Amino acid sequence: MSKKALRERMLTIPEVKKLLESLGEDKLDQFQRRSLDYASKFSRIEPEKAETLVKVLIEKFGLEGEEAIQLVNSMPESIEEIRVFLAGGRKIVEMSKLQEILNLLDEYRK
């Protein structure tokens, strides 16, 4: 029996971790266990904070969903690192806006 996706939604690494943990480790297949291990190692903030941070980055700074999720997944610590995630450095963003994004990430950092 094939499974059909009801909807598709991009998730941050912390949200993936929470979702997999909620299924129960004993019920996970090998791929899911590996994914949980990865998510556990690379989650930089709590899942609830990650979801809120993505929304703020999109609403306040006008970032694309993919850009916001990548920023939350990596939690860059400098303006130069942030630039990498904004359209591969092709998007021109004011220095003041980049600094505001960095300040926001610093507030959410563990």
Percent share of the chain, pLDDT over 90: 79
Q: What is the pLDDT of residue 16?
A: 96
For range 70-74, the mean pLDDT: 97
At residue 110, the pLDDT reads: 62
Taking each helix axis as running N to C, give the angle between helix 65-74 and helix 47-61, from 0 to 180 degrees, rounded to the nearest 10: 140
Residue identified by tokens 């004993």 is 26
Looking at residue 1, what is its pLDDT? 58
Q: How far apart, in Å, are the Cα atoms of 69 and each of 2, 23, 33, 61, 74?
A: 29, 23, 22, 13, 9
